[in-house]
Amino acid sequence: MIRQGAPDSFVTIRNVTKKFGAYTALDDLTFSVREGGTLALLGPSGCGKTTMLRCLAGLETPERGFISIAGKTVFDSAAGVNLNPEDRGLGVVFQSYAVWPHMSVIDNVAFPLRVRGVSAPERRKRAMEILDIVGLAGFAERSATQLSGGQQQRVAVARALVHSPSLVLFDEALSNLDAALREQMRLELKGLQDKLGFTALYVTHDQGEALGLAETIVLMNVGRIDTSGSARDVFMSHQTSFAARFFGLNVLEGAPRRKAFIAFQREHAQLRTPGAPTDNGIVLPGIVRTRSFQGLVDEYAIDLDQGALIRALDGSTGFEPGVRVDVVVDEHNLFLLDR
């Protein structure tokens, strides 16, 4: 699990609360990140993850709380500390590439060094080093807007890393790329962190991106932490109905004991002709609403007789919309979730 503001953590967020008028965007958030670690703030739109990143970067001011980075307090409501963004030792990669069209690639990358007063020869040397690392050394003198989307994103990453920041923040940094480029950039970012050892915090709504990049996940829901822990634990050991639904599980109310929810993965929902024998499991009768070809399997949307809509992945049957089916789920594949 996440260390709750442990003294030796590299990034500590403790009791951070942020409001916009009467709306509470962040409600008493506490978590931490180890040095060289990766953490993803994951959740749907409006859950508060980008607001948390902006508070960490100094672009928003919380009502209360404490934030430290690399042993330096950057915000403390009780002590009246609130450092400017440029004094927090951060690199930031935004959703938009934010490259300057009037500058060359190398000038874009070197800009953070320029504003820090680094000499021109040293700026060029360090910018070329990081461009070589991200595979863009041959494009240094080209206009940044002449590059592809994936190359512009590499420019943004290089610019965030060139001044050796304590922490790098990624705000939906891959969402503007197509599926193939997202996968490529995910692998490249993983390799960059392994090579350079920077500490990273990712903000994303994409569970695949979070699972692929982060060792620790904080799943947020309406300004609060719903679930947190290692990426594997958060994905595999669902504790709440929100987490189960977010990761694509079917969730049903009215479990037979303790007034709880039951949940199961779409892959574990087997479709059968009504009344067909089954060895072990619960049987949920319903009607096929839609059938969608997904390559190796078909995805079905099924209206259960009990009133719920579920989804099932099944490659062995061929039920058409409007047909009655039994959905069979082995008891070993069920999650029991408290309300």
Task: Please determine, looking at this structure, whether the domain spanning 251-337 carries the CATH number 2.40.50.140.
Answer: yes
Q: Is the pLDDT of residue 98 over 80?
A: no
Looking at residue 255, what is its pLDDT?
52
Percent of the chain with pLDDT over 70: 95
Each residue's pLDDT tens digit, 166-198: 899 999 878 777 777 788 888 888 888 888 888
pLDDT tier for residue 4 given thresholds of 50, 70 and 90 = very low
The fourth-level CATH superfamily of domain 11-236 is P-loop containing nucleotide triphosphate hydrolases (3.40.50.300)
Please tell me which residue, 276 or 232, carries the higher pLDDT value: 232
Each residue's pLDDT tens digit, 38-78: 999 999 999 999 999 999 999 999 999 999 999 999 999 99
Tell me if 72 sits within 8 A of 84, measured CB to CB: no
Q: How far apart are CA 306 and CA 167, in angstroms?
A: 49
Tell me what the mean pLDDT of segment 291-300 comes to.
Answer: 90
Looking at residue 204, what is its pLDDT?
93
- 289: helix, coil or strand? strand
Torsion of CA 90, 93, 96, 98, to 10 degrees: 60
Crossing angle for the helix pair 149-161 and 105-115, nearest 10 degrees?
20
Looking at residue 259, what is its pLDDT?
64
Looking at residue 339, what is its pLDDT?
56
Each residue's pLDDT tens digit, 132-165: 888 888 999 998 888 888 888 888 889 999 998 8
Domain boundaries, the chain: 11-236, 251-337
